[in-house]
């Protein structure tokens, strides 16, 4: 088996992977690059079908996790390899505290736990926002962990800084690994504080681009347009600075109010010599955060956002000839697990299976 982007581990597959909530395939891609064959990915977002299948050599199944039949899921795995079930339930329900009644999307985590208990894969891994461990006093996540332990799994989890794994982005994620075969390993950092990867090291060689334009050789290297006002604002911005550096006439009305003065990072430029801020689903908009290019008068491009998420530079998101929509591609990129973090998770599971895996 070969990978379209990057290099596979050549020591043979350690297990076969089914990816729930697979999105565009970043978590699967990390496993693929570490030598794990991907059986399939499940997601409800049809836009993710092409990037998942094109880059991960596996079929995409459009299905609600609540409607997945455990017997059918079991059949997706290879019969002669350890079975690894991965998943990153959509994190939006857990990224802010409930204002009253239960969010129906919480059931996604419960359905994930139900499938684990019924299918009994050898390994389970989940990645999500750190807030999940604290959400409503930790009860949602605590219930998930308890279900796995009751189902016969040993569970370990941590809050991982993506900076420690070569991701050029200030992003933290909750990483859980559970095993039926012994105490699981957790991902081991690959980069010290002095080795953190910067914006310059990641996108510094990308072709120059004007706001509203795209590169002829890579249509994903395209930048959102800017209004005359926002063009003036970005020209008045300095890397690492804030809108407080601007002349008064450029400051937005909302920032002149006391309630808006704390949002200093919006309309900001990144710094070449630092990692980027967290790449959100709206990173392609200059006014949505510190997403301005360090020196060009534009927001970072879709391709640059994907590279800061450590997708390979050639990762395909849109079928050739089909329209490219910023909101759709931005959502797929911003929601993704950084690929280098995914690779670290895969390596930890490989180490664990070498020691404890089924014989």
The verdict on pTM exceeding 0.95 is no
- With residue 51 as reference, give the H or E element that holds it: helix 49-56
- What's the pLDDT band for 261 if we cut at 50, 70, 90? low
Q: Is 11 part of any domain?
A: no
Paired strand residues for 124: 85, 178
Whether residue 211 sits in one domain with residue 130: no
Domain containing 59 — which CATH number? 3.40.50.150
Task: Specify the 3-state DSSP secondary structure of 181.
Answer: coil
- Which tens digit of pLDDT belongs to each residue from 123-153? 999 999 888 887 665 688 899 999 999 999 9
Whether residue 210 sits in one domain with residue 85: no
Residue 96's pLDDT is 47
Whether residue 269 sits in one domain with residue 159: no
Tell me, yes or no, if 222 is annotated catalytic: no
Catalytic-labelled residue, pool 91, 139, 162, 254: 91
Residue 205's pLDDT is 97
Domain containing 309 — which CATH number? 3.90.120.10
Whether residue 206 sits in one domain with residue 252: yes
- List the one residue out of 28, 40, 21, 22 whose CA is nearest residue 4: 28
Whether residue 190 sits in one domain with residue 45: yes
Q: Which residues contact 305 (CB under 8 A, 6 or more apart)?
A: 279, 283, 284, 330, 333, 334
Whether residue 129 sits in one domain with residue 217: no
- Which tens digit of pLDDT belongs to each residue from 168-182? 999 999 999 999 999
- Which tens digit of pLDDT belongs to each residue from 184-201? 999 999 999 999 999 999
Residue 97's pLDDT is 38
- What's the pLDDT band for 2 if we cut at 50, 70, 90? very low
- List the one residue out of 201, 202, 198, 171 whose CA is nearest residue 278: 171
Structure tokens at 252: 């937005």
Whether residue 322 sits in one domain with residue 271: yes
User: What are the distances in angstroms from CA 293 to CA 101, 192, 201, 286?
Assistant: 40, 26, 14, 9
Angle at alpha carbon of residue 76, lines to 114 and 5, rounded to 5°? 110
Q: Is the pLDDT of residue 322 over 70?
A: yes
Whether residue 316 sits in one domain with residue 248: yes
Domain count, the chain: 2
- Which tens digit of pLDDT belongs to each residue from 24-65? 999 999 999 999 999 999 999 999 999 999 999 999 999 999
Neighbours of 34 (CB within 10 A): 24
Whether residue 283 sits in one domain with residue 316: yes
- Asked whether the beta carbons of 317 and 221 are under 8 A apart, the reply is no
- Which tens digit of pLDDT belongs to each residue from 203-232? 999 999 999 999 999 999 999 999 999 999
Residue 266's pLDDT is 81
Q: Is 347 part of any domain?
A: yes
Whether residue 95 sits in one domain with residue 244: no
What helix, strand, coil percent values describe the chain, rounded to 5?
A: 40, 15, 45
- 71 CA to centre of own chain: 29
Whether residue 151 sits in one domain with residue 232: no
- Asked whether the beta carbons of 318 and 142 are under 8 A apart, the reply is no
Q: Is 312 part of any domain?
A: yes
Domain range for 24: 16-195+337-356
Q: Is 230 part of any domain?
A: yes
Whether residue 160 sits in one domain with residue 63: yes
């Amino acid at each position: 088996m070969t990978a379209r982007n990057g290099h596979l581990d050549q020591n043979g597959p350690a297990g076969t992977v089914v990816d729930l909530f697979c999105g565009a395939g970043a978590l699967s891609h990390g496993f693929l690059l570490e030598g794990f064959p991907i059986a399939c990915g499940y997601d409800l977002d049809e836009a993710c079908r092409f990037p998942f299948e094109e880059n991960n050599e596996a079929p995409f199944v459009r299905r609600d996790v609540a409607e997945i039949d455990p017997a059918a899921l079991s059949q997706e795995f290879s019969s002669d390899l350890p079975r690894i079930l991965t998943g990153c339930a959509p994190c939006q329900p857990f990224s802010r505290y409930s204002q009253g009644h239960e969010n129906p999307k919480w059931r996604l985590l419960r359905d994930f736990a139900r499938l684990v208990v019924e299918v009994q894969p050898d390994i389970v891994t989940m990645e999500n926002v750190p807030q999940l461990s604290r959400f409503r006093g930790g009860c949602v996540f605590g219930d998930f962990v308890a279900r796995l332990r009751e189902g016969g799994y040993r569970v370990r989890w941590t809050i991982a800084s993506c900076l420690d794994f070569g991701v050029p982005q200030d992003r933290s994620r909750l990483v859980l690994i559970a095993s039926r075969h012994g105490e699981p390993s957790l991902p081991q950092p690959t980069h010290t504080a002095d080795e953190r990867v910067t914006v310059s090291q990641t996108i510094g060689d990308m072709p120059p681009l004007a706001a509203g334009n795209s590169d002829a050789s890579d249509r994903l290297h395209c930048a959102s347009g800017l209004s005359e006002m926002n063009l003036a604002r970005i020209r008045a911005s300095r890397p690492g600075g804030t809108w407080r550096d601007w002349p008064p006439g450029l400051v937005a009305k909302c920032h002149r109010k006391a309630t808006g003065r704390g949002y200093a990072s919006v309309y900001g430029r990144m710094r070449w010599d630092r990692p980027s801020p967290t790449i959100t689903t709206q990173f392609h908009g200059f006014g949505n955060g510190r997403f301005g290019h360090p020196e060009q008068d534009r927001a970072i491009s879709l391709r640059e956002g994907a590279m800061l998420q450590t997708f390979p530079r050639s990762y395909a998101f849109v079928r050739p000839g089909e329209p490219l929509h910023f909101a759709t591609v931005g959502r797929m990129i911003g929601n993704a697990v950084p690929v280098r973090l995914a690779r670290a998770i895969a390596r930890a599971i490989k180490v664990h299976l070498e020691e404890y895996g089924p014989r």
